Structure 1
Amino acid sequence: MVSGLVYDRVAMLNRFRQFWTKVISPIANLLLKLGVSADAVTLVGTIGVCAGALIFFPRGHIWLGVVVITCFVFSDLIDGYMARTSGTSSKWGSYLDSTLDRLGDGAIFGGLVMYYAGSAGHSRWMAAVTLWALVMGATTSYARAKAESLGLHASGGLAERSDRLVSVLVIGFFSDVLNLPILLEIVLCVLAVASTITVVQRTLSVRKQVLSDPANAGLGTPPTAGPTTPGEGQPGDNQRPATS
C-alpha cells in the first residue's frame, strides 16, 4: 500500500514536470540565446522568492506574496532545463541550487513567522509553531544530506520538501482570499508535526542501516552511495540531487 502511494506520487510529479517543461521551454531557450546562464536564473529566482515572502507576508498580504513566490518558483524549472539543454550541469550548479533552495524555504516560513509575531497576525503561539515547522523542515533536509555524506540514505518520510512548500503556499493563498486564517494555521500545525515525524523517520532509518551492517558503522569506513528517491527537489529540477 505504501509503495503504491510512493509510486503514484512519483508518477504524478513526473507528469507535472513533463507538462511544465513544455510550457517553460520557449522561455528557457530564449534566455539561452540571450546568453543568460542557468546560475543567473537560479539566483534571480531565489531573490524573487525571498522578496515575495519577506515583503508581503509580514504585512499580512499573504495571497499577493504567494502569487509573487509562485512566479519565481518556476525559475527552478527553467534553470534545470537550461543546464541540461546547454550541457552545463555541474557540481557547482547543483551546490548553488540546493543551497539557495534552503534560503527560499527559510524566507517563506520566516516571513510567516514575522507575520504572526507582528501586528498583522498577532499570535505568538502561531509564530512559535511556524518557527518549529521551519526548523524541522531544515533538519529534514540536513538529515538526508548528512546520511548521504556517510554513504547511507535517509529519503522519504511523511513530509518531504515539495509537500511542505505546495501545502503552505496553496492553503496560504486560499486562506487569505477567503478570509479564513484558520486554514493556514491548521496546515502550519500539521506541517510542524509532520516534519517532526519525518525527522524521526529518517533518523530511525539511518539507525537501522547502521545496526544492520556493524562492520561499516565506523566513521573511517569509505562511504558508498545510497539510493535516492526521485522527485524530492522542486519540480523539474534535475540539475542536482535533491536534499529535501
Structure 2
Amino acid sequence: MLNIFARASVSRVTDPIGVWLVRLGMTPNAMTLVGTAGAVGFSLWLFPAGHLLTGTFVVWGLVMLDLLDGAMARAKGGGTAFGGVLDSTCDRIADGALLAGIAWYAFEVAERRSLAAAALICLVLGQVVSYIKARAEAAGLSANVGLVERAERLIIALVGTGLSGFGVPYAVDVALWLLVVGSVITVVQRVVAVRRSATAVPTTEAGE
C-alpha cells in the first residue's frame, strides 16, 4: 500500500543517485546482488547475536539499496525482463533472511517460542502474499491489492526490532503479531481480487 503513495516522492530522491551510479559504471543487477548479499549476511549475523539495534540500522540501509537498482534501471532507459525477475527473487531472499534472523534471535537469545512462531508465520505469509500476485499475473489476472506489502512488512518488522534494541519491552513481539494479522488480511484480499478477476477470464489450465 505504501508503494503506491510513496513511489513518486522516493523517486525524486533516488533517481539522481541512480544516474550518478550508472555514470560510475555500476549496473542495476550488480546493485541488486550487493544489497541482497549484505541484507542476508547481516540479518543472519546481527539478529541471532542479539544486536537488534545495530541489525535494524544496518539491514535497513542495505534494503534501501533496492530502491537504487530501480533508479539505475530508469537511468539506463528501463529495466530488462531478467532484471525484474532477479530483483523479485532477491527481495524474497532478503525478506526471508530478515525474518529467519529474528526467529533465530527468538530461539537462541530471547528464548521465546511465541516470538519465534510469529517470525516464522510472517516469513511464510510474506512469501505467499508475493506468490499470489506473481501467479495471478502469470495467468493474466489481477491481484494488485493488499494492506501489507513488502514495504509495510519491512517497516513493521524493523521498527519492532529497533524499538526492542532501544529497550522497549515486547516491541518486536507486538510488531510481528501485528504483521501476522496484516499479512493474513492481505492474503485474503489478494485471493478475493484474483477470484473477481478470474470471473472475466476463461480458465485455460488447472491450478496447482
Determine if the alignment matches structure 1 residue 70 to structure 2 residue 70: no
* 1:100 match: 90
- SS of aligned partner of 1:154: coil
* 1:58 match: 48
Q: After superposition, what is the alpha-carbon deviation per residue over 1:108-164, rounded to whole angstroms, capped at 9, x for unaligned?
A: 11100101011x110111111110011001000000101111111112122111111
Q: Read off the aligned partner of 2:119 and give its amino acid letter.
A: T
Determine if the alignment matches structure 1 residue 190 to structure 2 residue 183: no
Determine if the alignment matches structure 1 residue 80 to structure 2 residue 77: no
Task: Give the deviation of 1:88 after TM superposition.
Answer: 5.7
Indicate which of 116, 119, 123 corresponds to 1:134. 123
* 1:161 match: 150
Unmatched tracts of structure 1, length 5 or more: 1-5, 221-244
Aligned-residue sequence identity (percent) comes to: 37
Task: Give the deviation of 1:30 after TM superposition.
Answer: 4.1
Report 1:157-236 matches (<5 A): 157-177=146-166, 179-210=167-198, 212-213=199-200, 216-219=202-205
Counterpart CA distance in 2 for 1:9 and 1:89 is: 18
Q: After superposition, what is the alpha-carbon deviation per residue over 1:204-224, rounded to whole angstroms, capped at 9, x for unaligned?
A: 2222333x33x613329xxxx
* 1:16 match: 10
- SS of aligned partner of 2:48: helix
Indicate which of 86, 93, 114 corresponds to 1:125. 114
Q: After superposition, what is the alpha-carbon deviation per residue over 1:13-54, rounded to whole angstroms, capped at 9, x for unaligned?
A: 422332x326xx34x444323322211111001011112211
Q: Read off the aligned partner of 2:160 and give its amino acid letter.
A: I
TM-score by length of 2: 0.90
Q: Read off the aligned partner of 2:165 and give its amino acid letter.
A: D
Higher relative contact order (CA 8 A, sep 6+): 1
Aligned length: 206
**Greater than 6 Å deviation, 4+ residue runs:** none
CA 1:112–1:64 in structure 2 vs 1: closer, same or farther (change >3 Å)?
same
CA 1:32–1:133 in structure 2 vs 1: closer, same or farther (change >3 Å)?
same
Counterpart CA distance in 1 for 2:72 and 2:95 is: 22
Task: Give the deviation of 1:89 after TM superposition.
Answer: 1.6
- SS of aligned partner of 1:206: helix
Determine if the alignment matches structure 1 residue 111 to structure 2 residue 104: no
2:39/2:62 contact within 8 Å kept:
yes
Counterpart CA distance in 2 for 1:83 and 1:59 is: 36
Task: Give the deviation of 1:101 after TM superposition.
Answer: 0.7
CA 1:117–1:30 in structure 2 vs 1: closer, same or farther (change >3 Å)?
same
* 1:40 match: 30
Counterpart CA distance in 2 for 1:11 and 1:83 is: 21
